[in-house]
Amino acid sequence: MTKENILNAQFVKEMVATTSNLYRLGWDERNGGNISYLLLEEEISHYLDVNTVLRQIPMIFDASELVGKIFIVTGSGKYFKNVADDPEANLGIVRVGSDGKTLELLWGLLNDANPTSELPSHFMSHIARLSIDPENRVIMHNHASHLLAMTFTHELDERLFTRTLWQMCTECLVVFPEGVSIIPWMVPGTTEIGEATAAKMKETRLVMWPQHGVYGAGNTMDEVFGLIETAEKAAQIYTYVQAQGGIRQTITDQNLRDLACGFGVKPRTEYLD
């Protein structure tokens, strides 16, 4: 049976559009940033023979909890600006092998390219989020500029950081009522940063990496992009407000409670006075 052109697959189009937007916004300079997207076998069977493994890629992380699961991921050292022109060279579809420590390449990552070096962190976060929400499919990391800047000037206290974002844009409490998590600065690509991020992912869908960037999680590409986009807009407004002389009036805690009631969300209660 003839397979359809995989470049027409919705999940490839989403990866192309999202990486292009992230580069356009300046959040993924050079080869900064990475995305992993959990696929369903029925989604890809129209385009690939899932029994054909192009090559095997060893991992430093034991992803036994994800055995058999298939992901489309960005490549290591790949520039987001190039994804649209050559998806097959810059993206890859991989399946976690039966030993949990091997990736089976099903498509892409041409010329012996590897998946993002942050894949262990992504997999740890997928495991954490799936334990909370079995519909979770997307993990996204980027260097959203104003959020990144805030980690240099704002207290790195999760409650205070969250409250500042909630008070900058009315939409924020509705979009991320659980708040924002923050881990200490750590070397990227390590088991330690992956474990710390995954632990926070059980509490929130946004995790700040101070002086580095942000991790976001969700059920769809649009949801995760919009989640980070909303927090980034709030951080941008915070930057403007600080430049204009600081806060004189803001959204009150009672306003936030009324907002939560109006939109049927449950904000993290200990974050409200």
Catalytic residues: 118
- Rounded Cα distance, 213 and 250, in Å: 26
The verdict on whether residue 154 carries a ligand-binding annotation is no
The verdict on whether residue 126 carries a ligand-binding annotation is no
Residue 271 is given by DSSP the state G
The verdict on whether residue 46 carries a ligand-binding annotation is no
Spatial contact of 197 and 139, defined as CB atoms under 8 Å apart: no
Q: Which burial class, exposed, middle or buried, applies to 225 when counting CB atoms under 10 A from its CB (0-12, 13-18, 19+)?
A: buried
Task: Decide: helix, strand or coil at residue 151.
Answer: helix
Whether the CA torsion 93, 97, 190, 138 is positive or negative: it is: positive
Q: Which burial class, exposed, middle or buried, applies to 26 when counting CB atoms under 10 A from its CB (0-12, 13-18, 19+)?
A: exposed
Spatial contact of 179 and 158, defined as CB atoms under 8 Å apart: yes
Residues belonging to the binding site are 141, 143, 212
Residues belonging to the binding site for Zn(2+) are 141, 143, 212
